[in-house]
Amino acid sequence: MMQLLVITIDDCDEFLETLAGLKAHGMNGVVIQSTSLKHALLNSTVDAAPIFGSLSKVVSNDFEMSHTAFLILNEDQIEHAKRVVRRNTKGLGKKGVMFTVPIGSFEGIDAE
């Protein structure tokens, strides 16, 4: 079964080193810009408002950006990928998050 590995690391250098380590082992994925809800809300000047009004404020502001990587991996690649993340971050701790989600099926870009 395939798994979706999601990785967010706050430190840009550690994130890039991690991506390089994953790529060196033949793993590919997609990276998007992201920010934490805590950071977005702490820096927002929106008063208590309906959630949709708050979301427009979050989207229109500049926040400290991090990045999130999404990788589709087979079962035997997951533990290796997690070791690469742990090695490059010296343990995630409060630096970020990593989790997997089972994938029933997918179509699209073949591994390079």
| Residue carrying structure tokens 């927002």 | 44
Q: All domains of the chain, ordered by start, with CATH?
A: 2-35+65-103 (3.30.70.120)
Model-level pTM?
0.73
Confidence of residue 111 (pLDDT cuts 50, 70, 90): very low
Q: What angle do CA 29, 6, 109 make, to 5 degrees?
A: 25
pLDDT (tens digit per residue) in 78-89: 999 999 999 999
